[in-house]
């Protein structure tokens, strides 16, 4: 059992390695440039209503500004291997070395109904990216059985370099999932997904900006998120991080950082991260 000082030190290390997930809206670039130091890693989601170009355009601009930019290549939005080859050529020419490959929420437009097929083709194309992230689901996926999500992670592990966990509210659920994953022999480094300090009204507004159809899916899948954020003294990323600390701080957990879902509340999220580091450091 690690003592409190060791746990706090480990949490500081995770916070220092935190990266931010942002949505490709017109104001995102300005917010990132204004509020994030260039040593931050920024991941850019893929929006079915905006198309992959919006994701790649923003990733390229942030990369030129000095950030480590990680575009999401949502498998269901890619028509097939020819388009994937074009995407790889475009991103590598821009100096992008890390991508995140989810299945995505879009309807399948081509040959990739899930992430695995796209990951396999990336390998056949010569593994053009040195770092490839995949999704882990501590809680039940709204449309995929738990056993299938664990199996999918097992199948995808050969093609990935790290896992990013999706949001969960329950530290016990997270700990059980992490133990199950490691027991299964999945040893990829993990980035723990959690939300920054989110204002519910702004979050609802952001969901609307994503697109009407996507907003419906987003709200349907995240009812617990909104309920938790709206409740007095409700869920916060800080509380979750403190409660999950015993699970994520041992070296055997292979947790290497945090993946913060900013919902484009970038200034607030960076203030939260730096203030928490300061508090834990004293």
Task: Report the CATH number at residue 108.
Answer: 3.20.20.220
Confidence check: pLDDT of 1 > 70:
no
Q: What is the pLDDT of residue 7?
A: 87
Sheet architecture: strand order including 68-71: 68-71, 41-44, 19-22, 255-261, 190-195, 162-165, 131-136, 98-100
Q: Looking at the 3D structure of the chain, how many domains does it have?
A: 1
Element (H, E) at 91: helix 81-93
- Measure the CA–CA gap between 266 and 44, rounded to whole angstroms: 13
Banded pLDDT at 213 (limits 50, 70, 90): very low
Handedness of CA 54, 55, 57, 58 (dihedral sign): positive
Provide the whole-model pTM. Answer: 0.87
Q: What is the pLDDT of residue 211?
A: 42
Percent with pLDDT over 90 in the chain: 58
- Measure the CA–CA gap between 117 and 103, rounded to whole angstroms: 10
| 8-state DSSP, 10 | H
* 186: containing domain: 4-280
């Amino acid at each position: 059992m690690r003592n409190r000082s060791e746990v706090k030190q480990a949490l500081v290390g995770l916070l220092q390695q935190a990266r931010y997930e942002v949505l490709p809206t017109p104001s995102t670039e300005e917010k990132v440039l204004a509020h994030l130091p260039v040593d931050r890693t920024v991941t850019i989601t893929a929006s079915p209503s905006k198309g992959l170009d919006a994701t790649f355009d923003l990733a390229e601009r942030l990369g030129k500004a000095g950030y480590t930019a990680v575009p999401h290549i949502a498998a269901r939005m890619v028509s097939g291997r020819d388009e994937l080859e074009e995407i790889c050529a475009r991103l590598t020419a821009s100096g992008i070395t890390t991508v995140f490959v989810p299945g995505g929420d879009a309807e399948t437009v081509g040959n990739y109904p899930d992430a695995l097929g796209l990951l396999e083709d990336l390998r056949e194309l010569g593994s053009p990216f040195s770092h490839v992230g995949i999704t882990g689901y501590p809680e039940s996926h709204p449309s995929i059985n738990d056993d299938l999500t664990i199996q999918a992670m097992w199948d995808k592990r050969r093609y990935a370099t790290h896992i990013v966990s999706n949001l969960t509210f329950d530290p016990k659920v997270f700990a059980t999932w992490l133990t199950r994953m490691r027991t299964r022999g999945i040893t990829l480094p993990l980035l723990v997904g959690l939300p920054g300090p989110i204002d519910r009204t702004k979050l609802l507004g952001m969901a609307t900006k994503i697109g009407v159809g996507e907003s419906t899916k987003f709200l349907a899948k995240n009812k617990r998120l909104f309920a938790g954020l709206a409740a007095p003294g409700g869920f916060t990323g800080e509380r979750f991080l403190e409660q999950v600390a015993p699970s994520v701080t041992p070296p055997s957990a292979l947790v290497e950082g945090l993946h913060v879902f900013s919902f484009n509340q970038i200034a607030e999220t960076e203030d939260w991260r730096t203030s928490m580091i300061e508090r834990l450091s004293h």
